[in-house]
Amino acid sequence: MNRFKIEKNSYLKKETIAYYHTDYTGYNSPGNPDYINVLKNTFNNEASENLRHAFNDLTEVLIEDLIQILQIMKLKTLAVCVVPRAKAEENYSKNQLFFKACVKNVAKTTYSCIDGTDYIVRKTDTKTTHLCRAKMPSDFNNDGPMPYPGITKETCIFSNDIYNKDILLIDDIYTKTVNIDEDAVQALLDKGAKSVTFYAVAKTQFKSY
């Protein structure tokens, strides 16, 4: 696991401590965590066996890293939250929500963790940023706005349980300059979180993945 800092900008008012498991180098590249792409299941066409293997791979990574983060932070409790997908959650099938389901399962079974995976739920569609330059099926709906400061608060429903919690916010891939993660961190702080630490399974420096 690796540590980095998310710098403050127009989306985020203060620097945030962050962690990530591995580099994201591109789907099918050597050493790339392709299980992330499988679990996204963007076009809802992944085989059940592939989803099951990807779920197991992610579970191993999350358990390993979450235990380390708990040891570093030395907190009695840590609420584990997930950055919501771009579209309203009701628009996804169960087979497209395995990333969140995996995080939920690990949070529920890890000592000192609170399941906060429903603390933020998308209610309004936004643009799926990683598909902006990708070839998409003609019937795929990618309507909605691109990221802007405050987009998370304006397009999501928030739980009152956020208040005064130390939160670990998890996303699959962190990409600097996209700013969805920065905006989600700030939204949690604005909703009363005591603290927010960020974790991504993978991190990349280029704009689209």
Residue 27 belongs to a domain: yes
Residue-wise pLDDT for 3-27, tens only, equals 999 999 999 999 999 999 999 998 8
Residue 38 belongs to a domain: yes
Per the prediction, the chain carries an average pLDDT of: 93
Instruction: State the average pLDDT over residues 94-114.
Output: 97
Residue 153 belongs to a domain: yes
pTM: 0.93
Structural domain range at position 42: 2-204
Burial class (CB in 10 A: 0-12, 13-18, 19+), 126: buried
Q: Are strands 16-23 and 2-6 parallel, antiparallel or unpaired?
A: antiparallel
CA-based torsion, 101, 206, 180, 18: positive or negative: positive
Residue-wise pLDDT for 29-77, tens only, equals 999 999 999 999 999 999 999 999 999 999 999 999 999 999 999 998 9
Residue 182 belongs to a domain: yes
Residue 209 belongs to a domain: no
- The secondary structure of 6-71 as a DSSP string is EPP-SS-SS-EEEEEEEE---TTSTT--THHHHHH-TTS---HHHHHHHHHHHHHHHHHHHHHHHH
Cβ atoms of 62 and 33 closer than 8 Å: no
Q: Which residue is associated with the tokens 């991504």? A: 200
How many structural domains compose the chain?
1
Cβ atoms of 200 and 58 closer than 8 Å: no
Confidence at 128, pLDDT banded by 50, 70, 90: confident
List CB contacts of 49: < 8 A, sequence separation 6 or more.
Answer: none
Confidence at 139, pLDDT banded by 50, 70, 90: low
